[in-house]
Amino acid sequence: MKIIPTASSLPVRELRRLLIQPDRFVGSELLTLQNDESHYLRRVLRLRIGDPLAISDGCGQLWQAELVDEYTVKTQPHPCEQVVQPHPRLGLAVSIIRRGFDDVVRMACELGIDAIQPLRCERTVPQAEHRPDRWNTIVREAVEQCERLWKPTVLELNSLDSWLNSCSGQKAVGVTRTPNVGPLKDWFQQKAAPGQTTWLIVGPEGGWTVAELEALNDHSVVPIHLGPSILRTSTAAVAGAVELIRWREHQLNS
């Protein structure tokens, strides 16, 4: 006879998951759900009173919990899982685009990027999306779906110059039609420092202006390419994110 596990017998990793902001853990084991969270658990996930679930704080901790009533969950006193934040931190700084930035945010989160910096560049189209509330919702949903325990940050929209002047860490920038530029993986192997926050910068589909390239050079940003093809901004961002994650995994496993 085939035995089908019930919800109560499932390991915590297999339970339905909800992301709760860490400042809502105020020492009590009872958490009050917001309207959208209650709707998600009861109407979307179809959880019933008494059903188990997992609660993540987005800061590396996971609790086993139980749905007490429509607007309340009760967590266990202590986390059942704690994960140290991956190191080094990885960031994507990407020009906002007319369509597709939602996908960049979602896939960067699922792949493991730690920070996403939307940029407004000189050739960013006027119709480019700027939907910070939507992007944060996408991140929350992606964290719950892919079971990350560390929630990535979507930073405020910034200009390239302002961000370069304020952001620390090592940086590489994707360029096209520039001679004597190596691939991103070569920079990782030959020059990138494993201990620093590492950023990949992806520009608008109209390309970088001369002034922007000079600013990038002045801030010691290393030009790289992401392959022989001319990629759309969204494609380049995801391809670069994959390379970033592979590099970090290699550092962690070496």
Domain 90-253: assigned CATH number: 3.40.1280.10
Which of the residues in the chain have pLDDT under 70? 1-13
- Residue 11 pLDDT: 62
- Residue 7 pLDDT: 42
- Residue 172 pLDDT: 97
- Residue 13 pLDDT: 59
- DSSP strands (E only) in the chain: 17-19, 30-32, 52-56, 61-69, 72-75, 81-82, 90-95, 115-120, 153-154, 158-159, 170-174, 198-202, 222-224
Give pTM, 2 decimals: 0.90
Q: With beta carbons less than 8 A apart as the criterion, state whether 244 and 198 touch.
A: yes
pLDDT digits (tens, 9 = 90+) for 44-70: 999 999 999 999 999 999 999 999 999
Domain ranges for the chain, please list them.
Answer: 9-82, 90-253
- Residue 70 pLDDT: 93
Task: Say which CATH architecture domain 9-82 belongs to.
Answer: Beta Barrel (2.40)
- Residue 183 pLDDT: 94
pLDDT digits (tens, 9 = 90+) for 213-237: 999 999 999 999 998 888 999 999 9
